Chains A and B, each alone.
Chain A
Amino acid sequence: AQKITQTQPGMFVQEKEAVTLDCTYDTSDPSYGLFWYKQPSSGEMIFLIYQGSYDQQNATEGRYSLNFQKARKSANLVISASQLGDSAMYFCAMRGITGGFKTIFGAGTRLFVKA
């Protein structure tokens, strides 16, 4: 069975500093994808970044980077130079082949950016 674990219910970060949001996963799929989404208070889910299990390099998208450690089954999101607008819920998600490409989500981490 596939599982996503986010152990940080809430995180605080000072504006302009970097922050790491943790995500660990469990799967028996030989090939899978890992995602991070942002959910502001308005409610919509916004795609941030994707990492394939066979990608050799860690994914980066602007201020977002994914610290992928396959052996540890972790896929942490790093946000550099935090901005007030980064305050939101962040969800880690996974999709695998044997799961019929169904996406499963973690419980999320609420990030608070302080001015």
Chain B
Amino acid sequence: EAGVAQSPRYKIIEKRQSVAFWCNPISGHATLYWYQQILGQGPKLLIQFQNNGVVDDSQLPKDRFSAERLKGVDSTLKIQPAKLEDSAVYLCASSSQGDLSYEQYFGPGTRLTVT
């Protein structure tokens, strides 16, 4: 079974530029998550999709971040314009629908550096 795929693995941009990250979840997983992990901290949920609908985006900075999940499969997270504080690892995860115990499968992450 293929895992969660993410690209690119690394990205360096200047502040005020835009950037996009791509995620392909495990086949058949209805739920997709984007997390932001700042150095020295645990992951923080940015947005959660159930199929192609948004379940939770309460911590997504909507003035600069956007995300979509077309056709309920892969997803794109965009930042425009980027700020220095956006430097972080962006993790994508997926899971099948379940209860409290459902396991999230994480991708390798995209490390973003904003200069």
**Residues of A with C-beta under 8 A to B111:** 43
User: B48 to A102, Cβ gap below 8 A?
Assistant: yes
User: A103 to B56, Cβ gap below 8 A?
Assistant: no
Proximity bits, A95-112, B CB within 8 Å = 1, else 0: 111001111111110000
User: Count of chain B residues with Cβ under 8 Å from any Cβ of A?
Assistant: 22
Whether B61 is near chain A, meaning CB under 8 Å from some CB there, is no
User: B109 to A103, Cβ gap below 8 A?
Assistant: no
A45-B91, A91-B42, A93-B42 given; A100·B100 CB < 8 A: no
Residue in chain A with minimal CB distance to B59? A102
User: Count of chain A residues with Cβ under 8 Å from any Cβ of B?
Assistant: 26
Choice from A44, A50, A96, A106 contacting B101 with Cβ under 8 Å: A50
Whether A57 is near chain B, meaning CB under 8 Å from some CB there, is no
CA distance A33 to B95 in the complex (A): 15
Residues of B with Cβ closer than 8 Å to A?
40-45, 48, 55-56, 89, 91, 93, 100-101, 103-109, 111
